[in-house]
Structure 1
Amino acid sequence: MNRFTVPFLMILFVAPLASAAEGAGHDVRQIFAQKCAACHGPDLPRPKGRFGYVLDLPRVAANPEMVIPFRPDESELWTLINRDEMPPSDSPHGPLTAAQKEVIRTWIATGASDNPADSADAPTAQEEITESTPLKAADRFVRWVGKFHLMLVHFPIALILAAWFCEALATWHRRSTPSETVRFCLRLGAVAAVPAAGLGWLFAAAGNGVGSPQLLFAHRWLGTITAAIVVLTAVWAERDAHAGDRSPGLRLLLTVGAILTALTAHLGGLLARGLDFLDY
């Protein structure tokens, strides 16, 4: 075989891929500017989910929680898009078309490269906002209700931790009868935990936390499991009260619930304030 044949074939094979990658990068930026920048663009003072760099493709591609170059099926960004979670169903700009999804998938599959020269031509978030369509009344209401997650969630956190502390004191003093304080905290904690978890899902569905998808996944599922355990613990406490006995099962459930509550709250704080919030 001629010594020039292999390099020639490599050029024929690689050149179209490079061209496709550059073209995909340009198209992806255009799609993100049209569909995503209104909530996650660089011009916003408080972008949703602390994800305000959707038009900065190199930064998006460099985030391993979002994109794994050449492996779209393992990339959280593609998973969210493919499941129609992003943009959310109530997005003012509407969902992505099948063709737009394929462009984004191709961009990741070809290495998630970028053509910096195209960034100046991309529409800004402000330009795209003027083309938005108003939300339906029901969608606007659901998005508004989800915001109450941030206010309601503090009550079950405080109540469950207070219940655990009171139960620990009762155990230390070797009291044999159930604590009314523990029952009171668990009742209110269970009543608040269930809607707090549900509102958290609505809050996430509106695009909050999308900048840290793995952290968001852990937070909302752990919160859901914690709410279920809190309800079970409250029911167990009522059973012990009727029996007139403090069972080891209640202490175990309450300890697990308190640990999960603290962990879920910590993950929520990281989502809201960022991983560097406690840096000294």
Structure 2
Amino acid sequence: MARNKRLLLLLTVLISLGSSANLLFADESGGAGINETCPVTEGEPVDEAIYAEFEGRTVYFCCQRCRRMFLKDPGSYTARLASIPSKGHDHESDHGNAAQAPLATKDRTLRFAGKFHPVVVHFPIAMLMFSCLFAGLSLATKRRDYLIVSRYLILWGAPVTVLAALLGWSAWSQATYSGELLKTLEFHRWLGTTAAILSLVALVLSERHWRSPTLIRQKIAFISLAIVAGLVGVAGHFGGMLIFGMEYYKW
């Protein structure tokens, strides 16, 4: 039992370190923005979380793909950038309209909650995949200690998957993607939602086998975990495309 606890503790620490690595290496540069719309995709509102430093200024973009395109060849967009109104300009004098009203509390809450989706989502990805791995090892070797690790991972992983999906819906409600990226977002959203629902099913099946173990129940639980792990992996792939662009894996 002590050996099982040490194994579970070590695995939990490794998952936690890997899942939070994105925080350690986050880009801490920033500053006041200078443009209201994206210099790459004309007319597209910018996302204040996506920016780059250019000639001592902070340039905002609508998505990571546009940011990479700009950094690859900034000279192609400098003229367009110069024509975009600054965030510090006077709406009323320039456009004849009053300044935009601040976001409602509901929208501010959703936008803030959605920011945690990219952080939280790493935990269920790791937990569900490792739960599937150890369930498979237990099925192949008949060792109960592997089953114990798999059980604890799905016990934690399923609720966190649901939380990540809810935060993802919050992020989706404030998203400004268009075109192919919007289609990718929809794939990502519904795959993640399906994975969250099926993770609860996998949890129930896993607990059913744990409380009354039979070979057929163990196989069913493993298959359900494999399906969920696959869905989470594919959903994560589409999420990566939203951040790094449609052609990220192009050879």
Q: Is the 8 A contact 1:50 1:209 kept in 2?
A: no
Shift of 1:46: 4.3
Is 1:167 the equivalent of 2:135?
A: yes
Which shifted more, 132-141 or 226-235?
A: 132-141
Residue 182 of structure 1 corresponds to: 150
* Residues 135 and 222, structure 2, Cα contact 8 Å, conserved in 1: yes
CA 1:207–1:167: 2 relative to 1, 3 Å: same
Corresponding residue pairs, total? 181
- 1:137 deviation in Å? 2.8
Residue matched to 2:229: 258
TM-score (structure 1 length as normaliser) = 0.56
- 2:242 pairs with 1:239: no
Please say if 1:45 is aligned against 2:59: yes
Runs of 4+ in 1 over 2 A off after TM superposition: 36-53, 122-133, 174-178, 208-211, 275-280
Which structure has the larger Rg? Answer: 1
1:82 aligns to what?
none
Identify the residue that residue 189 of structure 2 maps to in structure 1.
220
The verdict on how the C-alpha distance between 1:234 and 1:138 changes in structure 2, with shifts beyond 3 A counting, is same
1:48 maps to a residue whose letter is C
Q: Determine helix, strand or coil for the equivalent of 2:86.
A: helix
1:272 aligns with 2:232: no
* Contact 2:135/2:147 (<8 A) preserved: yes
Change (3 A) 1:276 1:152: same
1:224-280 per-position Cα deviation (integer Å, ceiling 9, x unaligned): 001111110011111111103352211111111111111111111111111233445
User: Which has the higher mean CA deviation after the structures are superposed, 132-141 or 174-183?
Assistant: 174-183
8 A Cα contact 1:210 1:216, kept in partner: no
User: Aligned AA for 1:234?
Assistant: L
Match of 1:154 in 2: 122
Distance 1:44 1:209, change over 3 A: farther
Q: Any conservation in 2 of the 1:149–1:196 contact (CA below 8 Å)?
A: yes
SS at match of 1:45: strand
- Alpha-carbon distance between aligned partners in 2 of 1:150 and 1:167, rounded to the nearest angstrom: 27
CA change 1:259–1:179 in 2 (3 A) is same
Pairwise CA distance, 1:190: 0.6
Instruction: Point out the structure with the larger strand share.
Output: 2
Asked whether the 8 Å contact 1:159–1:189 carries over to 2, the reply is: yes
1: distance between equivalents of 2:163 and 2:228? 17
Cα RMSD for the two superposed structures: 3.2
C-alpha distance in 1 between matches for 2:178 and 2:162: 23
- Find the residue that maps to 1:275 and give its secondary structure: coil
5+ residue gaps, structure 1: 1-31, 54-118
- The one-letter code of the counterpart of 2:61 is P
Q: Which residue of 2 aligns with 1:197?
A: 165
TM-aligned CA distance change 1:202 to 1:48, over 3 Å: farther
Shift of 1:176: 7.4
